[in-house]
Amino acid sequence: MTTKKKNSDTLTGKSKSLPGIDQLQLQMLQGLPAATYTCDSKGRITFYNEAAAKLWGREPKLGVDQWCGSYKSYRTDGAPVPSETSLMSVVLKEGRAVTGEEIVMERPNGERLHVLPHPRPIFDSKGNLVAAINTLIDITDLKKVDNALRESEVRFRTVANTAPVLIWMSDKNKNCTFFNKGWMDFTGRTFEEEAGIGWVKGLHPNDLEKCMNMYVTSFEARKNFYLEYRLRRHDGEYRWIASRGEPRYLPDGTFEGFIGSCTDINDSKMNAAILEERIAERTKALNEAVIQLERSNLELAQFAYVVTHDLQEPLRKVKTFTDRLMVKTARKLNEDENLYLMKIKNSADRMSGLIKDVLNYSILTRSAEPYIPTDLNYIAKHVLTDFELLITQKKATVELGELPVIEAVHLQMNQLFNNLIGNSLKFTSSEKKPVIKISSSDVSEVEKTAYRLDRNKRYVKISFADNGIGFNQEYAEQIFEIFQRLNGNDEYPGTGIGLALCKKIISNHQGTIHAESSPGVGATFHVLLPKKQF
């Protein structure tokens, strides 16, 4: 309010001292929204309007302050402009208008503004330079927007050029207008070569149609796209590229073109292809191996069956005719000769036992026989009855614990118990009364892991412990191999198939067997079997 009052005072009081400007013109100047002021020929400020006071942030003293009403002025490069070298002084000295020189004004509070001055000389009716008038246009806001734009553009280019991908941008006419450094480095071509639709020359001929179709279709539908194609690298190699494009719009929704990025996926694509190929190869090989294995297993079983069957025939003859010879000639032969015949008979009997065991072993597969709930208590008692005579002869004690019911092939369980109990009764120590303990327990998670059993199944452990001659723990695995024997035939006759057969039965039932022993102390066989088969 004070400003206005003062100005109106100035206006009325000093109107005549403003040469070249009449009262009406003065009033018009006063009301202008642009900052306007005048100086006399000596450069002293003789008039300023409200907008000028507002711009400067101060009110200069009329007739005292010179050249410009601002507190301080600078050039755009930041160098201070002494008021006596201001544009007004140039105008008054040279009597001509000066335009377009942007300056920076500082208000008393330190705030800086970008201003475009438009100083002009004023002449009287005789043509004498009597004063000058200046209009100051505040372009600060414009400058800010311009700077922000410039900064944004620089930031985009920095990001685009440092990104490890290929970036492109096109205008609304599908012409590419920007490629980042990544792109240029990849193709090794110049911007001029790539610009517009020049980049299309780098496409693999087989991908050209697919790529252009996608580009044009997406472009016209203003839809983002994803496409894989081959692009020629600077070294001439075509590389697989994954390309993504997005339409871009101005804030007001005007479509401006597309922007997109591309990544070199050649290695991963090739790796995936190689990997798939390898997997296919391995799978094929594996399937072939499985078929081969099945075939050879079948052949082996057939072979064993045929061999044992055919071996048995002549052996039976050896036995039969030895028998006939013994019956017919017994009285004519001496003791030695009879002993030889007896040895032939015994050998033939042993051979016969071996063949029967091998035959048994070879036909024992995961057969068609059903897996039914089998009470192992019943099995054990049944087998012990078979061994009754031997148990009495050996004065052996059998401690039979409570056993579970599991899904199993009845006959095979019978065979298993028969072999393991028979084993314990066979390898007894002459120094101790034989004690055989049969017990069962559940299988813990730790044991499951240790023996690589199916985590989702429940297992039982059946242990057969004896106090017989035992064996060295180092043979604990070997004893389950077919024909493996640790003891001499005279002392402990056998075919070396019993435990191998046990192992096969247990593996048919998806279980496992292991042994613990030390010589002279005894042996324990642990059988781990699943409660249910499926």
Q: Which residues bind other proteins (CB under 8 A)?
A: 309, 312-313, 316-317, 319-320, 323-324, 327, 352, 356, 359, 363
State the Cα–Cα distance between residues 151 and 46, nearest whole angstrom. Answer: 42
CB nearer to other proteins: give 17 or 367.
367
Any idea which residue has 């300056």 for tokens? 103
CA angle centred on 41, ends 36 and 47, rounded to 5°:
30
Termini Cα distance of the chain: 100
CB nearer to other proteins: give 139 or 304.
304
Shortest reach from residue 321's CB to other proteins, in Å: 8
Length of the chain as a residue count: 534
Strand runs labelled E in 430-474? 435-442, 459-466
CB nearer to other proteins: give 206 or 367.
367
Strand runs labelled E in 198-279? 225-232, 238-249, 255-264
Shortest reach from residue 356's CB to other proteins, in Å: 8
CB nearer to other proteins: give 159 or 363.
363
Q: Which residue, 393, 530, 515, is CA-closest to 464?
A: 515
CB nearer to other proteins: give 313 or 431.
313
CB nearer to other proteins: give 226 or 303.
303
Q: What is the 8-class DSSP label of residue 201? A: G
CB nearer to other proteins: give 408 or 438.
408
State the Cα–Cα distance between residues 436 and 458, nearest whole angstrom. Answer: 26
Shortest reach from residue 489's CB to other proteins, in Å: 22
Q: Which residue, 455, 432, 445, 422, is CA-closest to 521?
A: 432
Shortest reach from residue 363's CB to other proteins, in Å: 6
Shortest reach from residue 395's CB to other proteins, in Å: 33
CA angle centred on 136, ends 133 and 139, rounded to 5°:
165
Are 464 and 421 contacting, i.e. CB atoms less than 8 angstroms apart?
yes
CB nearer to other proteins: give 152 or 302.
302
Beta bridge partners of 518: 522
Shortest reach from residue 350's CB to other proteins, in Å: 13
CA distances from 173 to 153, 176, 257, 507 (A): 21, 9, 7, 74
Shortest reach from residue 400's CB to other proteins, in Å: 28
- What one-letter code names the amino acid at 359? L
CB nearer to other proteins: give 304 or 521.
304
CA angle centred on 42, ends 39 and 47, rounded to 5°:
20
Shortest reach from residue 422's CB to other proteins, in Å: 19
Shortest reach from residue 291's CB to other proteins, in Å: 24
**Residue 512, both tokens:** 């496992």
